[in-house]
Amino acid sequence: MKKEDIPQDDGALNKLTKEVVYAVDQSGKYTTELSTGWEVKANALDLAWKDIGNRIEKARQQVLNREASPLLYFMELRLMDIGIVSAYTGFWKWTIRRHMKPGVFEKLPENKLQRYAEAFNVSLEELKSMNVHED
């Protein structure tokens, strides 16, 4: 892409930062330039965030239908997988999968729930109720 062809569309982060892109200058050499964004990229990001929102809502419904514990909801909300939750909590992956069952989750002692709450950066009450108060 030539230096003058670098997109300067409104991007998702254009008010916060600019993106470094490579372009060919007038002498044919590669150089770095700043771009405020690219509409195609912004649309792709918007679509990805919409998909994440759908996954969060699906997880919420599964918890409300007692098909899963609140752990599933918070994993989707915080964009975490079982491996990441395991690293934050110190629980084995198979243990987390077991805790994702509503009946097992409800019987967990408070110290284990606290480890999950800390990993998801919520209070114990928020963990149990899925009512999250984001700043």
User: Is residue 28 located within the same domain as residue 51?
Assistant: no
Q: Flag whether 135 is in a domain.
A: no
User: Is residue 32 located within the same domain as residue 57?
Assistant: no
Digit-coded pLDDT (tens) for 55-114: 999 999 999 999 999 999 999 999 999 999 999 999 999 999 999 999 999 999 999 999
User: Is residue 25 located within the same domain as residue 58?
Assistant: no
Total domain count for the chain?
2
Digit-coded pLDDT (tens) for 34-53: 777 777 777 888 899 999 99
User: Is residue 7 located within the same domain as residue 68?
Assistant: no
Give the DSSP H/E element, type plus range, for residue 45.
helix 39-64
User: Is residue 125 located within the same domain as residue 102?
Assistant: yes
Q: Give the mean pLDDT of 15-24.
A: 77
User: Is residue 82 located within the same domain as residue 46?
Assistant: yes
**Rounded CA gap, 123 and 129, in Å?**
10
Q: Flag whether 8 is in a domain.
A: yes
* Structural domain that includes position 17: 3-37
Identify the CA nearest to 1 among candidates 42, 44, 41, 30. 30
User: Is residue 31 located within the same domain as residue 62?
Assistant: no
